[in-house]
Amino acid sequence: MEALADDLLAGEYFLPFKKGGFRMWALEEGALDWDDV
């Protein structure tokens, strides 16, 4: 999932985090639990 998010950032998509920041963003948003990582 993180690699897909990084690939999307290389295009014209807007994502609310920088390259490599998906995991931290998902944790902060409650989309992932710390026990899942």
pLDDT value for 5: 81
pLDDT value for 24: 92
User: Model-level pTM?
Assistant: 0.59
Q: What share of the chain is helix, strand, coil (3-state, %, to 5)?
A: 55, 0, 45
Tens digits of per-residue pLDDT, 2-35? Answer: 888 888 888 887 778 888 898 999 999 998 888 8
> How many angstroms separate the Cα of 10 from the Cα of each of 6, 19, 25, 29?
7, 9, 18, 22
Q: Where are the domains of the chain?
A: 2-36
**Sequence-distant (≥ 6) Cβ neighbours of residue 37 within 8 angstroms:** 23, 27
